[in-house]
Amino acid sequence: MVKEDIYILGIESSCDDTSAAVLRNGVILSNVTASQEVHKAYGGVVPELASRAHQQNVVPVVDQALKRAGITKEQLSAIAFTRGPGLMGSLLVGVNFAKGFARSLNIPMIEVNHLQGHVMAHFIKESDDDNHMPPFPFICLLVSGGNSQIVKVNAYNDMEVLGQTIDDAAGEAIDKCSKVMGLGYPGGPIIDRLARQGNPLAYKFAEPNVAGFDYSFSGLKTSFLYNMRKWVQEDPDFIEHHKEDIAASLEHAIVDILMKKLRLAVKETGIKHVAVAGGVSANNGLRNAFHDHAERYGWTIYIPKFSYTTDNAAMIASVGNFKYQDKDFTKMDIPVFSKVTFE
Ligand code: KG4
Distance between CA atoms of 89 and 92, rounded to whole angstroms?
Answer: 5
Query: Strand 273-277 vs strand 300-302: parallel, antiparallel, or unpaired?
Result: parallel
Instruction: Name the helix (H) or strand (E) containing 109.
Output: strand 109-113
Residue nearest atom 2 in ligand 1 by C-alpha distance: 279
Protein residue whose Cα sits closest to atom 10 of ligand 1: 145
pLDDT of residue 342: 57
Q: Which residues are annotated as a binding site for substrate?
A: 142-146, 175, 188, 192, 283
Cis link prior to 85 (omega < 30° from 0)? yes
What distance in angstroms lies between residue 311's CA and the mean position of ligand 1's atoms? 9
pLDDT of residue 102: 98
Quote the ligand 1 centre to 284 CA distance (angstroms). 12
Domains and CATH numbers, the chain: 7-131+310-325 (3.30.420.40), 138-307 (3.30.420.40)
| pTM for this model (two decimals) | 0.94
Which residues 6+ apart lie within 8 Å of 299 measured at CB? 266, 272, 273, 274, 290, 293
pLDDT at residue 139, rounded to an integer? 98
Cα–ligand 1 centroid distance for 171 (angstroms): 5
Atom of ligand 1 nearest to the CA of 278: 1
- pLDDT score recorded for residue 137: 98
From the CA of 17, give the closest atom in ligand 1.
3
Q: What is the structure's pLDDT at 339?
A: 77
The whole-angstrom separation of Cα 149 and Cα 170 is: 10
- How many other CB atoms are there within 10 angstroms of residue 123's CB atom? 18
Q: Among 304, 278, 322, which residue's Cα sits nearest to residue 147?
A: 278
Mutate to test the pocket of ligand 1, among 12, 116, 144 (most ligand atoms within 8 A of CB): 144
Query: Which residues of the chain have a pLDDT value below 70?
Result: 1-2, 340-343
